[in-house]
Amino acid sequence: MIIKANNPTLKSWIDVDVNSDFPIQNLPFGVYSDTHTKHHACSAIGSYAIDLYELANHGFLSNLNIPTEVFNNAYLNDFIELGKETTRALRDRLSDLLDSNNKELQDNKAVFNKIFKPQSGINLLLPVKVGDYTDFYSSIDHATNIGTMIRDPKNALMPNWKYIPVGYHGRASSITVSGTPLHRPKGQMKPADAEVPTFGPCKLLDFELETAYIIGKSTKLGESVSTEKADDYIFGMVLFNDWSARDIQTWEYVPLGPFLSKNFASTISPWIVTLDALEPYRTRGYEQEPKVFPYLEYTGDKNVDIKLEVAIQPENSTETVICNSNYKYMYWTMEQQLAHHTVNGCNVNVGDMMGSGTISGPQPHEYGSMMELSWKGTKPLTLNDGSERKFINDNDTVIMRGYCQNDKVRIGFGECKAKVLPAN
């Protein structure tokens, strides 16, 4: 299928820096507020957000049959619920209006300031109301590293790992948008050499470099989604920091898996980059051996080449990039995750969020968590200001970025950023 708005030759009449995440080929969706606006849906071009409510109010979207009120919501759920045909038509229309050959909006100077808002002057809000959040564990390099560290290097992967896209149900209430600080969690932990557990602020606070996809079409209870149809159910992707308290996790996780070590905060980037916009960057994934069950088989290139980085910025200091990874290293694809999630009839709803699991690559600088980068705290990292990190300190800001680039176009996700405050 040809997606019109992805045409790499398109140029906008709005100036877009070559390193911008938001050229005319991206057109992601978000929600913003500012001193005049409580919450309007928006898209992005260059350094501007595009107010979709104002755009509709001024008649620029009149042929699309979209109720204007869906752009005047705190969340994008009702807009996404309209279906991919409609959201795709809107992205195509935005692409037309921003195209340098199109004069409709370009020549309408009177409305420019109403519709285009410098991103530096607005607040980007949590874009969706997440109903249910599931986190997978789909990076083979990550699962191998963790298994090597905490179990046995010879049997690093659990016997189920290459058969099942392993996952667990997370908590939606503590998902926040980039820019929202979090407090270091408190909890129980038991150091390996201690007889009894202790209680207090977590000492081994970690990030997890992840992406997440947002469900764009609901299923009925009892219904399953095939890998072939899965893309119809995926609206788009965000960057995702799935904060983890490693010491709390080690003590609590047996036998039911992570609980308070994971549910205190999860940070997502504010722009949902549509699956449509990511199509040009699809790539082949790892060879899957042993052969997967038929319901997990798929054809074509289903991985995505998304370059990912993580930086730590200590208070009053500059940032240091500590990791460069790539989404293409995922062993299980989004389509396989969704097919697996629904194979038992479990229903999914618009706005549900599915985390990838920590995304590590094969090289040490591609590891997607401090646990791996510092190898369980045995190899501290040195930051640009000379300070060392085994895990994340109070007042550190962790910043994740991601973008796709081929020989024609670069599109990106913006930032997923949050500061760690001392424990309450």
**Where do contacts with Mn ion occur on this chain (CB under 5 A)?**
135, 208, 242
What's the closest the beta carbon of residue 170 comes to Mn ion, in angstroms? 8
Give the tokens for residue 28.
């992601």
Give the tokens for residue 354.
């599915």
Q: Which is nearer to Mn ion, 236 or 355 (CB)?
A: 355
Q: Which is nearer to Mn ion, 135 or 305 (CB)?
A: 135
User: Strand ranges (DSSP E) for 70-153?
Assistant: 116-118, 123-125, 133-136
Q: Which is nearer to Mn ion, 7 or 250 (CB)?
A: 250
What's the closest the beta carbon of residue 208 comes to Mn ion, in angstroms? 4
Tell me if residue 142 is catalytic. yes
What's the closest the beta carbon of residue 242 comes to Mn ion, in angstroms? 3
Q: Which is nearer to Mn ion, 70 or 420 (CB)?
A: 420
Rounded Cα gap, residues 118 and 14, in angstroms: 12
Q: Which is nearer to Mn ion, 64 or 260 (CB)?
A: 260
Rounded Cα gap, residues 55 and 167, in angstroms: 40
The percent helix, strand, coil of the chain (3-state, each to 5) is 25, 25, 50
Give the tokens for residue 31.
């929600």
Given 142, 169, 340, 365, the catalytic residue: 142
Closest residue to Mn ion using C-beta atoms: 242
What's the closest the beta carbon of residue 405 comes to Mn ion, in angstroms? 26
Other Cβ atoms closer than 10 A to 92: 17
What's the closest the beta carbon of residue 382 comes to Mn ion, in angstroms? 26
Q: For residue 61, count CB atoms less than 10 angstroms from its CB and return exposed for 0-12, middle for 13-18, buried for 19 or more.
A: buried
Rounded Cα gap, residues 22 and 16, in angstroms: 8
Q: Which residues pair with 246 in a beta bridge?
A: none
Task: Indicate which residues carry an active-site annotation.
Answer: 142
